[in-house]
Amino acid sequence: MALRLFNTMSSRIEDFRPLRDREVRMYACGPTVYDYGHIGNFRTFVAVDLLRRFFRQSGYTVRHVMNITDVDDKIIRNAARDGVSVQQYTAKYEKAFLEDAAMIGIEEPTLVRATEHIPEMADFVAKLVEKGFAYRTDDGSYYFRIAKFPQYGKLSKRDFSGMLDGARVDVDEYDKDSARDFALWKAPKPGEASWESAIGPGRPGWHLECSVMSMRELGETFDLHAGGEDLVFPHHENEIAQSESFTGQPFVHFWFHARFLLVEGEKMSKSLGNFFTLRDLVLKGHKPSSIRYLLASVPYRNQLNFTFDGLKQAAVSVERLRNFRLRLSSGNFPPGANSEMQTLAAQAVERMTAALDDDLNTAQAQAAIFEMVRQANAAFDTGGVKQDDVPPLLAVLTRFDEVFAVLEDDDGPKMKRVCDWAATEGRDKDISDELREAIQSGQLSDADIEKKIAAMKAARASRDFKTSDALRAELAEAGILVEITKDGIRWRRK
């Protein structure tokens, strides 16, 4: 089987085939950097990251481009309010976004910034005017004339045949049910940031940024374009109209949209008090790996209901997987192989791959690995795991983690960075006791612990129980439980 993906354009699950052999060119609409990213944003970004990683696991090379929207109405307003330049204002949040994305295991795409491509955007508008798709208004703004693009609405399946030719809207986000000629380029307003260009002073509209930058990086037609479901209309519809009018070619092959998440059963909103940035959750003491695992646990087209119970459960799941891996890598096993274990590993790989091939069914992929862990754990206890079974079982975990990226035990240092950041931002009161504790117990990396365990083993071999006990106490202090059994020494985090 090969990858099948839902395509918003056709409203069907289709076989995924890239336009070029073995290379996937994908673009994801990135953040507007005017604030810290919230878990809804990261739900979508993690979904895109899982997809990218699975493409790679499936043997494709991936060119993944993401824009940083560093100019829009809100940014300009906030920068003016704070009396700083647009660049100064956005630099802080762009940095925070990149740190957060890395913290949650997102591999960095090729980044493109809107403000670095303004001359190309102005040229793009000029060409649309030349071709009759755009017009200039008296104030020096430019609009796309959607009546000239009869397929307008083909992605969002809206019928705009009755719309008013020439009705306009000049804000980046507008009423979802009204189709209007949308702004490509906005004339400067007094006191607002603007750029000089070949089509006069002003600034690009948000939709234009994505059309120009995606085609610049990936070509006139590329494989996949991603974002949250709110972007289908108007943003992606407008990108299609601009790009296809400009090139006369199809813009994108596959449209990939992640469903909006709920928090504790409700739409996330500041007024309901259920609005969380990634950093808010870490400040409460939750590990980045648990958050990533939870965001990945519901397939991207299903509604994920983010709950704190679910987050705790995710932490337990990650711990189980990490402990299983340690058990494999640090245990003593009898020589030989057990064909049942070999079959178990092969089946797990097959099921995981089949699940992800099936429109990225991450829930099924997680279920497949847990089934293997359950059966292998049972076999451990009865001596059913032999030396030669260890590499194939470990290989399944590695394969799983190529996509899910939760097994590396690096939560401690990441959480510490968030804690340090909160202190420098004067948010000490938001640092929970749980976070302080987690940092303390997370100070020891797996490698540090393994070293101490090895020293314990050496001490015990030479019957130096005093040293062994001291090491054990030290580990206990750091939140590590050590169990000495006849098969050797095992450990786990408390």
Contacting positions for Zn ion (CB under 5 A): 29, 210
DSSP annotation of 234: I
- Residues of 102-139 as b/e, b for ≥16 C-beta within 10 angstroms? ebbbbeebeebbbbebbebbbebbbebbeeebbbbeee
380 binds ligand AMP (CB under 6 A): no
Does 280 bind ligand AMP (CB under 6 A)? Our answer is no
- Which partner in ligand AMP, Zn ion, none is near 210 (CB below 5 to 8 A by kind)? Zn ion
3-state secondary structure of 20: strand
Residue number with CB closer to ligand AMP (18 or 37): 37
44's contact among ligand AMP, Zn ion, none, with CB below 5 to 8 A by partner kind, is: ligand AMP
Per CB under 6 A, 46 contacts ligand AMP: no
> Which candidate, 371, 370, 281, 374, places its Cα nearest to that of 317?
370
Of 215, 258, 328, 352, the residue at the interface with ligand AMP (CB under 6 A) is 258
With binding defined as CB under 6 A, does residue 174 bind ligand AMP? no
Secondary structure class of 464 (helix, strand, coil): coil
Neighbours of 15 (CB within 10 A): 10
Q: Which stretch in 193-201, 227-235, 294-302, 446-454 sits in contact with ligand AMP by CB under 6 A?
A: 227-235
Q: Which ranges constitute the DSSP H helices of 154-303?
A: 206-218, 237-247, 278-283, 288-296
Q: Which stretch binds ligand AMP (CB under 6 A): 40-48, 134-142, 324-332, 463-471?
A: 40-48
Residue at shortest CB range from ligand AMP: 228
Sign of the four-CA dihedral 97, 101, 103, 109 = negative
Q: Which two tokens stand for residue 335?
A: 């020589």
Distances (CA, A) of 274 to 3, 267, 292: 36, 8, 18
Q: Which amino acid is at 398?
A: T
Q: Is 260 in the site for ligand AMP (CB under 6 A)?
A: yes
Q: Should residue 301 be labelled a site residue for ligand AMP when binding is judged by CB under 6 A?
A: no
| Maximum CA extent, the chain | 90
**What is the rounded CA–CA span in Å between residue 442 and residue 480?**
10
Give which of Zn ion, ligand AMP, none residue 35 binds (C-beta under 5 to 8 Å, depending on kind): none
Of 195 and 260, which CB lies nearer to ligand AMP in the complex structure?
Answer: 260
Based on its alpha-carbon atoms, the radius of gyration of the chain, rounded to whole angstroms, reads: 26
Which region among 181-189, 225-233, 277-285, 292-300 touches ligand AMP (by CB under 6 A)? Answer: 225-233
Cα–Cα separations (whole angstroms), residue 395 to 94, 342, 391, 447:
36, 11, 6, 19
x-or-dash pattern for ligand AMP, window 319-358, by CB under 6 A? ----------------------------------------
245 binds, among ligand AMP, Zn ion, none (CB under 5 to 8 A by kind): none
Q: Compare residues 225 and 416 and give the one whose CB is closer to ligand AMP.
A: 225
**Least spacing, CB of residue 299 vs ligand AMP, in Å:** 13
